[in-house]
């Protein structure tokens, strides 16, 4: 049983069948092709400019470790002229980050990159342990989630860096696309597919150079390059919609491996069909629409939804939608009996769905900046600053 030869060099034995296009490649060619494709993404989307300082959001996990390795390689090979820095976040949960931060420290040596570990205490004046002490175990996930969302941006700002790259891969993006379709969230659908997020209003730009890379290939790359990463998966279950979308993506991939990229493509195309969005497919124009808070971090750590029962999110939304329907029905009956004609019959339909934390329904959010910290926010004071205000009041009380 002779193994097939590599489709690329036609000399070595093929050891990999790429999920992306079924091509059979040898180890060397696979590594080369993987890197070439990331390079292609970087150049065609014009992600970087020479001399730019880039913070790599590093968790010690496979995605961010591969990202750091590939960026180092490409930066040297193609002379990007980038100054690469590893940026890690320490939530300040005793013992929780030890192993992953140890991995990141080793990566810093292996890749010869400066490493900055920023703690929640530096960023917010509170470690998660202190938050838990103050407000108790219940509800602290809200804090962790909100804080984590901003941590990389705030950390980069502290370092004077304006561009953070994260290890989001094609599977993550596909999952987000299906999740937003499932949740009927067009605003987020239009943002989530963009390779760059953040615009002139945000001080820190974010991008995902591995957006078109399959998770499976990232694992293969890490394996064949013998990269040092921390392989424990996040212990917290994702919120219901994401978890459901993730399971669905996995099934689709089994039926048709190209489905992951096909979903990414659908997401990009559908994003341009969201009412009010520009029809242009140009990446640079897309950035405006893409402004927004990036929630789907791969930085690991405390999932903001961990306190919930599985399915809670979906159940809550289902109930809310049903209430809306009932309300709508009532409205029509009332207007009928009052013989007032079609007052507000149509408008009621688009009422944004509010379901506790899951309130992502508003079709068009007006984004501005937090008056206190300057972070992008649809409110005057951003969520993190609101939470901090509450915490600080508590601290004051305790100290008195």
Partner 1 sequence: MTESKSNQAALTRPCVKCRAQEATLDSRSQPVCRDCFVKFISTKFIKQIDILGKKTRPAAGPSSGSSSGGPPTLTRRYLLGLSFGVSSTVLLHVLSENLESQLAKGRTAPFDLIVVHVDASSSLSREGADNSEAAAAAAEAVLNRYRARYPRFTFHNVPLSSSSSSTQSGNDSSEDALSLLSSSTTAPPTAASQSDLRAHRIRRILLASAARHNCQALLLGHSTTALAELTLAEAAKGRGFALPWLVGDGPAPPAPPSSGPQQPQVLVHHPLREALRKELVTYASLITDPSPLTDLISEPMRPGGDGTGSAEGTTTVVSYRDLSIEDVMTRYFAEVEASYPSVVANVARTAGKLVRRGGSGRDEEAAAAAAACELCGMPRDEDGDKRWRGELGIQEEGEQGTEGFAGQLRGRLCYGCERSVGG
Asked if 335 is part of the footprint of partner 1 (rule: CB under 8 A), the reply reads no
Asked if 210 is part of the footprint of partner 1 (rule: CB under 8 A), the reply reads no
391 binds, among Zn ion, partner 1, none (CB under 5 to 8 A by kind): none
Do 38 and 213 form a contact (C-beta atoms < 8 A)? yes
Rounded to whole angstroms, the Cα distance separating 280 from 270 reads 12
Asked if 45 is part of the footprint of partner 1 (rule: CB under 8 A), the reply reads yes
- Cβ 3 to partner 1 shortest distance, Å: 20
Rounded to whole angstroms, the Cα distance separating 366 from 129 reads 34
Pairing of strands 163-165, 53-57: parallel
Q: Which of 197, 183, 179 is nearest to 47 (CA)?
A: 197
Q: Which of 262, 333, 380, 389 binds partner 1 (CB under 8 A)?
A: 262
Q: Which of 95, 256, 338, 396 binds partner 1 (CB under 8 A)?
A: 256
Rounded to whole angstroms, the Cα distance separating 300 from 278 reads 33
Number of helical (H) and strand (E) elements in the chain, helices listed first: 14, 10
- Cβ 256 to partner 1 shortest distance, Å: 5
Residue 196 is encoded by which pair of tokens? 């760059």
- Cβ 197 to partner 1 shortest distance, Å: 17
Which is nearer to Zn ion, 29 or 82 (by Cβ)? 29
Longest dimension (CA), the chain: 82
Each residue 132-171 as x (binds partner 1 by CB under 8 A) or -, in order, gives ----------------------------------------
Do 303 and 242 form a contact (C-beta atoms < 8 A)? no
Q: Which of 155, 209, 243, 267 binds partner 1 (CB under 8 A)?
A: 267
* DSSP-assigned letter for residue 2: P
Residues that bind partner 1 (CB under 8 A): 21-23, 36-37, 40-41, 44-45, 177-178, 181-186, 212, 244, 248, 251-252, 254-256, 258-259, 261-263, 265-270, 272-275, 279-283, 311, 314-315, 317-319, 321-322, 325
């Amino acid at each position: 049983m002779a193994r097939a030869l590599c489709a690329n060099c036609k000399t070595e034995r093929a050891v990999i069948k790429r999920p992306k296009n079924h091509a059979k490649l040898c180890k060397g060619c696979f590594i080369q092709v993987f890197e070439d494709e990331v390079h292609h993404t970087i150049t065609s989307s014009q992600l970087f400019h020479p001399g730019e300082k880039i913070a790599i959001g590093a968790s010690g996990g496979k995605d961010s470790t591969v990202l750091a390795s590939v960026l180092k390689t490409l930066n040297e090979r193609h002379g990007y002229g980038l100054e690469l820095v590893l940026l890690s976040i320490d939530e300040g949960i005793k013992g929780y980050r030890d192993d992953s931060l140890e991995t990141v420290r080793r990566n810093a040596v292996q890749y010869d990159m400066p490493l900055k570990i920023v703690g929640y205490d530096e960023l917010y004046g509170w470690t998660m342990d202190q938050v838990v002490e103050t407000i108790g175990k219940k509800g602290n996930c809200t804090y962790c989630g909100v804080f984590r969302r901003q941590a990389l941006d705030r950390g980069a700002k502290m370092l004077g860096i304006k561009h953070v790259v994260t290890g989001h891969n094609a599977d993550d993006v596909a999952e987000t696309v299906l999740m937003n379709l499932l949740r009927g969230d067009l605003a987020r659908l239009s943002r989530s597919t963009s390779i760059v997020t953040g615009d002139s209003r945000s001080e820190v730009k974010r991008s995902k150079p591995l957006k078109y890379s399959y998770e499976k290939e990232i694992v293969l790359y890490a394996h064949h390059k013998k990269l040092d990463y921390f392989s424990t998966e996040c212990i917290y279950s994702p919120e219901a919609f994401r978890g459901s979308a993730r399971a669905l993506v996995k099934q689709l991939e089994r039926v048709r491996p190209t489905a992951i990229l096909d979903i990414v493509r659908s997401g990009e195309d559908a994003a341009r069909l969201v009412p009010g969005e520009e029809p242009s497919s140009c990446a640079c124009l897309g950035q405006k629409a893409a402004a927004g808070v990036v929630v789907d971090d791969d930085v690991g750590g405390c999932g903001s939804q961990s306190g919930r029962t599985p399915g809670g999110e979906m159940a809550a939304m289902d109930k809310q939608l049903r209430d809306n329907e009932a309300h709508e029905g009532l409205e029509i009956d009332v207007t009928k009996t009052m013989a007032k004609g079609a007052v507000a019959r149509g408008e009621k339909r688009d009422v944004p769905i509010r379901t506790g934390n899951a309130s992502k329904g508003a079709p068009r959010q007006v984004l501005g900046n937090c008056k206190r910290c300057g972070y992008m926010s649809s409110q005057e004071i951003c969520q993190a600053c609101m939470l901090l205000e509450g915490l600080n009041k508590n601290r004051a009380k305790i100290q008195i």
